[in-house]
Structure 1
Amino acid sequence: MDIRMAGVTKIFHPDIVALEDVYLNVKRGEFVYFVGHTGSGKTTLLRMLNRELSPSSGQIIVGKHNLRKMRLGQLPFYRRQVGVVFQDFKLLPHLNAAENVAFVLEAIGMPGRQVAERVKAILTKLDLWKRRFLYPEQMSGGEQQRLAIARAVVNMPSLLIADEPTGNLDMETAESIMDILFSINASGTTVLMATHNQYVVDAFRARVVRLSRGRIVSDEPRGEVELYGDL
């Protein structure tokens, strides 16, 4: 999905300005990094695109959806088109790997046979099929992150939002996660990723949007981060 943000400001009570007058266009199928200090507004921006938050002012259009005008009844249908990957995985501890992924499809009423086929396909693709009966606590950090990605993309979303997906991983595992994200992007999914990992940004080149104090201060088509930069 393409994204258009115009004059977007988000103020938290009483007067904390998280985003201020943000203008941003993202084409369908782009891969975009959001970088900047903690508190620069990266996560707030991503949460608004998932409609967890609404802007205080301005407009956000994602595909055909005006998020500011979206009714609560429309929200579940919109979120079916959006996958979200978190730094802390947010897996369901009482479900095994296969059940964690199946839960997403069962929640939207997909028939059981189709659920089983989708789950097997995505777990096989992410090299997790042999781990399907393990619970999250029995899996490594990298396996849990791959499982979180599997859960986010099993419904084949048009937009994938990843908030610090490599933040708790060693470099080798982070590289494997980035390979997966770029593979998903190559299939046509728009990918937005917030990160502090300067190595990842430099090694896996894509558009880089830098935020500072709630404003976009730079936007480079194939940017990089200086080795001792300010991420």
Structure 2
Amino acid sequence: MPKPTPLTDQVVTVCFAPGEDADWFSASEKVNDLLNANGTPARRYHVRHRSLIGWLTRFFGYYLLDAARKFGAITMAAGGRKGRLDLNATAANAAGDAILRWRAWNQHINNTTKPARTWEDFLAQHHADPAKVSINEARRRFQQQPRVLAMLAYVGAHTFDPYELAAYQAGEATYAGLHWRIAMVGDVLITVEGKVLKPASDTVADQLRFGNEACAYLRSLKSSARLCAVAIA
């Protein structure tokens, strides 16, 4: 069962073999066929600019999908040729943002409230005895905890998703590690062969296992392979 109130859409990373049609329509077709879902392009990849010809490539969108510009220069894209996407910068920026968010959580939430039970604990209660603990009751029990209420009540530069509580409580390195993996491969990955890789559950452990597998697959692709990130509600 998915998280009841996700703060962001899920992102599906679609992979294409070198030479394969890899436009937005092809990616949408794969997502629809394999996941029965529709989506929109998700500009999440930083674009690589080679040092010698970077001044030229930064203004041309060849081998890129749904590129975004700032002052005329391309900065982000929803996908494109793997060799044109700066996956390392994408991961590094996501890790940096996650570290800042975790440190704000640590200061404003962790230091002022007691540890709370995670959403997965209450969801397990529901699955064990749905007649006794409905999904609404499980959600009520989870959200009434002081730490969760503090996360919901916080107003500042960051937004804390209570359903990420397990990752927050696992520490800065784990939280940042989870988010740079998500930035690289999204929440679901469709391989060149049409295989769907996704976490076995919403637990942090299964999300990290998926992230490790999907990142390893992404690294194995040639630089001429194509990627496309699709956001689905």
The TM-score normalised by the length of structure 2 is 0.29
Structure index of larger Rg: 2
The structure, 1 or 2, with the larger RCO (C-alpha pairs under 8 Å, 6+ apart) is 2
TM-score by length of 1: 0.29
> By percentage of residues, which structure has more strand?
1
